[in-house]
Amino acid sequence: MRHIISILMENEAGALSRVAGLFSARGYNIESLTVAPTEDESLSRMTLVTNGTDEVIEQITKQLNKLIDVVKLMDMHEGPHIEREMMLIKVRAMGPAREEVKRLSDIFRGRIIDVTETMFTIEVTGTSSKLDAFVEAIAEADIIEVVRSGVTGIARGEKALRV
């Protein structure tokens, strides 16, 4: 099963490679990984999407917790949560396709953020599956480039991942 794991870690050089190294050494999957500093500059927050059986996920969280740089982590699937990913997608849009791409983008609440005579660059935000659906829907058009931010997530309500 797919899990989103959020990790607060010391904002130290090499912290990212400890996580990446752990995953490759132990043969765990990484679907996506994003990391950036938080409001507390001594901390980075990493969001990692992985998949595996319950046993594997349990090992992953235990092994992550064992890393000295990891301060705290949360498996988002322990409770209700919000997941977001952003995608920038550049498509060739000429002639009648131009209108079609615009329409599709509207349906997915995308925003066209750059326009040339031949190209649209569209920004779409949502869950990973929504972004997948958009890529699929627009496949008819000529996709030039796709950039995805990787998934970020946050727990709903009072629950929070903080020190």
Partner 1 sequence: MCPNMRAFFLVFCVAGTREIKQVELTGADIFVRCLAEQGVEHLFGYPGGAVLPIYDALYQQDKVQHVLVRHEQAATHAADGYARSTGKPGVVLVTSGPGATNAVTGIATAYMDSIPLVVFTGQVPTALIGNDAFQEVDSVGITRPCVKHNFLVKDVKDLATTIKKAFYVATTGRPGPVVVDIPKDVSVARAEYHYPKRITMRSYNPVSKGHPRQIKKAVDLMLTAKRPIIYTGGGVILSNASRALTELTRLLEFPITNTLMGLGAYPATDRQFLGMLGMHGTYEANMGMHNCDVLIAIGARFDDRVTGNVEKFCPTAKIIHVDIDPASISKNVKVDVPIVGPVDQVLKEMIKVFKESEAKPDAAALKAWWKQIEEWRGMDCLKYDRDSERIKPQHVLETLYKVTKGDAFVTSDVGQHQMWAAQFYKFDKPNRWINSGGLGTMGFGLPAAMGVQFAHPGEQVACVTGEGSIQMCIQELSTCRQYGLPLKIINLNNGYLGMVRQWQQFFYDGRYAMSYMESLPDFVKLAEAYGHVGMQITRPEDVEPALKKAFKMKDKLVFMDFLTDPAENVYPMIPAGAGQNEMILV
User: What residues make contact with partner 1 under the rule CB under 8 A?
Assistant: 9-10, 13-14, 17-18, 21, 25, 55, 58-59, 62-63, 65-66, 68-71, 163
- Least distance in angstroms from the C-beta of 147 to partner 1: 28
CB of 40 to partner 1, least distance (A): 11
> Which residue, 21 or 80, has its beta carbon nearer to partner 1?
21
**In 13-155, alpha helices (H):** 15-25, 54-66, 96-107, 128-137
Distance CA 103, CA 96 (A): 11
> Please, which residue, 73 or 138, has the CB nearer to partner 1?
73
Q: Which residue number, 23 or 134, has a Cβ lying nearer to partner 1?
A: 23
SS3 (DSSP) at 36: strand
DSSP result, 126-149: E-HHHHHHHHHHTTTSEEEEEEE-
